Structure formats: C-alpha cells, structure tokens
Amino acid sequence: MRNLILASSSSYRRELLAKLHLNFETCAPHINEEAFPGEAAGDLASRLAREKALALADRYPDHLIIGSDQVAECRGTLLGKPGTPERAVEQLTQSSGHRVNFHTGLCVVDTRDMSHVTACETYSVHFRKLSKVEIARYVELDQPLDCAGSFKSEGLGVTLFEKMEGFDPNTLIGLPLIRLLELLRQKGVNPLA
C-alpha cells in the first residue's frame, strides 16, 4: 500500500481519515491562506488544498499527500475560524436565519510523478433563527473557536440548524471522505482491498 500523508494539523481531519483504517502520517504545511481579491469561496478552498499538499511534496517522495481546506460563506461573506468567543457570536448572529455554504477543497498529490487531482465539495447548512441567548450559550458550551463558521456539527452545532444539504456530511467537518476514497482508489488505495 502507498505511504499516505495528511497535509494538515487539524484534529478533525485526522479523526475522519483514521475512520478509514489506513496507515498515514500527518504533517502541517505552512502556506499563506489569504484569499486573493475577488476569489470565490470554492476556488479558494481548492487552491489552498492543492497548495497544502504541494508544500510537502519535496519532503515526502513516493507518497500520496492529501491536502484539504474549508471555506465557509454566508451571503457572499467568507467566514473563517473565529478565534475568540466574541467573533464566534458575531458569525453566528450573521448566520442566524440564513444558509451557510461550506466549500471543502481536496487535493491528492502523487509525489512519484507529481501528478495531482483537485476537487471541491459543497455542503450547506440552513440556520434557524437564533436568539442572542441561544448563540451565547452555544458558544459557551461547544467552544467552536477553531471551526470555520463558528460551530461543530458533530457537537451541539446540530441544535442551530433547520436542515443540512449535501452529498457527504464529512464535508462539513472538513474532509469529504466519499470523494477522497474515489481519488485514492484511482491510485490503488482501498481500505477494503
């Protein structure tokens, strides 16, 4: 089986990839994650996923490197990781009663020949109308400070939604496993083989 590297420091992505029972290592790439002026959310997510994977290519010859990045957007505004409780409250207030689209870029680089394939999956969350008390209590309980859009769908975040729409719910957490498995099988990696 090929050597796999997850180009990420995200514990959420590491936990998702571990579900597949594949042997892999993680390594945090260091790239500039700023959006280009006018760059669409999906394009940004795809570009960052590719740059993360390519940033590690020289260090890991004969590996498959998995890069992923997620960009959330609500009504045309990009929502990053809040970092502070105050910013999380601001983001959730902005999202209240609206749809938030999560664009998760995915890239697999084969360092044998430097070929790569990039994809972007979108998953949408429809927020119900939230009160200030609900928002404050949610931020206090779930502490979503390191999550784009200021919630954890695998935690209490589900209490904030009317509905969710998309192909693979893992996309919302940050690693679209269905698409990743498709890309890995093309390179001869199949956890069931």
- Reported as a pLDDT band with limits 50, 70 and 90, residue 167 is very high
pLDDT of 1 reads: 75
Whether 52 and 26 have beta carbons less than 8 Å apart is answered as no
Over residues 41-77, the pLDDT tens digits come to 999 999 999 999 999 999 999 999 999 999 999 999 9
pLDDT of 155 reads: 87
- Tell me the torsion sign for CA atoms 52, 29, 191, 124: negative
pLDDT of 88 reads: 97
| Catalytic positions | 69
Mapping DSSP onto H, E and C, the string for 75-126 reads CCEEECCCCCHHHHHHHHHHHCCCEEEEEEEEEEEECCCCEEEEEEEEEEEE
